[in-house]
A = this chain, B = another copy of it.
Amino acid sequence: METMRIAIVAPPWFAVPPVGYGGIELVVGYLADGLARRGHQVTLFAAGGSRTEARLVATFAEPPSALLGDPAVEARHILAAYDHWREFDIIHDHTFLGPVTGAALPVPLVHTLHGPVTDANRDLIAALGRRAHLVAISHHQRSTLPAGTRAAVIHNGIDPAAFPFSAEPGDYLLFCGRINPEKGPVEAIEIARRAGLPLLMVVKINERLEHEYWEAEVRPRLRGLDVEVKQQPPTEEKLAAYRGALATLFPIQWPEPFGLVLIESMAAGTPVIAFPRGSVPEVVLDGVTGFHCRDLDDAAEACWRARELDRRECRRRVERHFSASLNVLRHEQLYRAILASDGRGEPAPTLPLALDGITAPGRS
């Protein structure tokens, strides 16, 4: 198979891979490394401090994390990255603004939708879909695209080998995520209270709204409960938290586009007790790698049934369907399909059925 010259444009906000928080940067790092290992000429455009097996072009000396989301900062990153567009057969952009530039260039452009489709970005996504090859990160996310907008579905992947596994259920519940109403930290506390089990919270609290939500809604509810809180602990501690838990709580209040926590938990052997919104039904198999729950009581009751699940099934599901290596193969196949077609004129080809449908809801 021929070598491709591939540009991967990461968001600039965190190093690739991230030191702490940074889900997009994590999966982008796996992708760049995996493609490089498969012999492609891969260039990663990312902030300084990134470590990669691809060629790194650092657009900032340090990740501008404090300015997260500032369009002027993202614009500088894009400007520097797209200076090099002539050097590539294909560009895969994971930023918000970059695809606007990429779509104007005579080189095939792939754009992964890492966030939810909202009223604010729906029209932009439709316009991008007419000019670039979109990748959705779940079947559910794809189902929310504007009418007529096509996208390949490629689930996020991680390296299961990086997650220490335990076949024995632990004795506490885990919540892992941003302190944000969407992620349901308040609901997680309530589930733990009703289940009468200890709760470990591994949390990110650094943006203003996160601080406000923590102080106003979350912290007051911890009084009198058996809850331990770790703010962005070192990787080793986070891995131990996953491995040692009885179950991970995922009582989301929004249509999660993918949910890396789901597969990180399952990789460690820990099943997930989740509200089945967004991508959850296609990632967590109800009754096998976790439980889909109706409400808080249902979830509290499920905590006690989590011991009955075979933790090996959790691990196996990640190895089979949500590994970084599968994610890399799918992207390689998508790029080849695009380059084999005319490259530009046509909207995103769907992946061959066998690939595209492999982890559709209801199939394991």
Residues on A close to B: CB < 8 A? 70-73, 75-76, 78-80, 82-83, 85, 96-97, 100-101, 103-105, 120-121, 123-124, 127-128, 131
Q: Are A105 and B105 in contact (CB under 8 A)?
A: yes
With the chains together, A120 CA to B105 CA distance in Å? 28
With the chains together, A131 CA to B80 CA distance in Å? 10
Minimum CB–CB distance for A258 against chain B, Å: 21
Residue picked from A83, A85, A96, A100, most chain B C-beta under 10 Å: A100
Q: Are A79 and B97 in contact (CB under 8 A)?
A: no
With the chains together, A83 CA to B105 CA distance in Å? 9
CB contacts (< 8 Å) of A127 on chain B: these are 76, 79-80
Minimum CB–CB distance for A204 against chain B, Å: 24
Given known contacts A97-B97, A100-B78, A124 and B72 CB-to-CB distance under 8 angstroms: yes
CB contacts (< 8 Å) of A96 on chain B: these are 71, 75
Q: Are A83 and B100 in contact (CB under 8 A)?
A: no
CB contacts (< 8 Å) of A71 on chain B: these are 71, 96-97
With the chains together, A121 CA to B76 CA distance in Å? 10
| Residue ID in chain B nearest A132 by CB atoms | B79
Minimum CB–CB distance for A124 against chain B, Å: 5
With the chains together, A70 CA to B131 CA distance in Å? 21
Minimum CB–CB distance for A75 against chain B, Å: 5
With the chains together, A97 CA to B99 CA distance in Å? 12
Across the interface, A83 reaches (CB within 8 A) one of B82, B85, B104, namely B104
Minimum CB–CB distance for A123 against chain B, Å: 6
User: 28 A-B residue contacts at CB 8 Å?
Assistant: A70-B120, A71-B71, A71-B96, A71-B97, A72-B121, A72-B123, A73-B124, A75-B96, A75-B97, A75-B100, A75-B124, A76-B123, A76-B127, A79-B100, A79-B103, A79-B124, A79-B128, A79-B131, A80-B127, A82-B100, A82-B103, A83-B104, A85-B104, A97-B97, A97-B100, A101-B101, A101-B104, A105-B105
For the residues of A in contact with B, the DSSP-based class is: helix
CB contacts (< 8 Å) of A131 on chain B: these are 79, 83
CB contacts (< 8 Å) of A76 on chain B: these are 123-124, 127
CB contacts (< 8 Å) of A105 on chain B: these are 104-105
CB contacts (< 8 Å) of A100 on chain B: these are 75, 78-79, 82, 97, 100-101
With the chains together, A127 CA to B78 CA distance in Å? 11
Minimum CB–CB distance for A77 against chain B, Å: 9
Known: A72-B120, A83-B131. 11 other contacts (CB 8 A): A71-B71, A71-B96, A71-B97, A72-B124, A75-B97, A75-B100, A75-B124, A76-B123, A79-B124, A79-B131, A80-B127
Minimum CB–CB distance for A303 against chain B, Å: 40
Across the interface, A104 reaches (CB within 8 A) one of B73, B97, B104, B124, namely B104
CB contacts (< 8 Å) of A104 on chain B: these are 79, 82-83, 85, 101, 104-105
